[in-house]
């Protein structure tokens, strides 16, 4: 057996046992006296007004997808900018195609009203 795996075999039981032992000790130490007021939902000292399992609007998901698209754009453009001189015109063409596809997506999102925050 290679010596490189020995730290993994030592750390694995420690990584498993540490949270288990910590949770067990916390269960033994903490006070446990459940009352109806302790078991109730707490919302800034006010009784909950409605069910907490409400539905989100579609606009929430559209905003989330747009956020991901902006992040992906940054992730793909940064390495290109770092290697711009080495890629030459082929790199410029690749980025032009990428940005064209991205702009088509932005135009579609704009026409759907995804950029309206009201």
Q: Is residue 103 part of a domain?
A: yes
Q: Is residue 23 part of a domain?
A: no
Q: Is residue 78 part of a domain?
A: yes
* Count of domains forming the chain: 1
Q: Is residue 1 part of a domain?
A: no
Q: Is residue 36 part of a domain?
A: no
Count of CB atoms situated within 10 Å of the CB of 62: 15
Does pTM surpass 0.75?
no
- Output the pLDDT for position 118: 59
Q: Domain containing 105: what range? A: 58-112
The pLDDT-based confidence of 1 (bands split at 50, 70, 90) is low
Q: Is residue 13 part of a domain?
A: no
Q: Is residue 52 part of a domain?
A: no
3-state secondary structure the chain: CCHHHHHHHHHHHHHHHHHHHHHHHHHHHCCCCCCHHHHCCCECCECCCCCCCCCCCHHHHHHHHHHHHHHHHHHHHHHHHHCHHHHHHHHHHHHHHHHHHHHHHHHHHHHHCCCCCC
**Most confident range, picked from 19-23, 47-51, 54-58:** 19-23
- Output the pLDDT for position 13: 93
């Amino acid at each position: 057996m290679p010596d490189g795996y020995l730290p993994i075999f030592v750390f694995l039981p420690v990584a498993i046992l540490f949270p288990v032992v910590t949770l067990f000790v916390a269960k033994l130490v903490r006070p446990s006296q459940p009352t109806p007021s302790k078991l109730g939902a707490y919302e800034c000292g006010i009784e909950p007004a409605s069910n907490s399992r409400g539905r989100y609007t579609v606009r929430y998901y559209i905003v989330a997808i747009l956020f991901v698209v902006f992040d992906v754009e940054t992730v793909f453009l940064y390495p290109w900018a770092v290697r711009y001189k080495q890629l030459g015109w082929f790199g410029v063409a690749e980025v032009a195609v990428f940005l064209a596809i991205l702009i088509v997506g932005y135009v579609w999102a704009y026409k759907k009203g995804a950029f309206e925050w009201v």
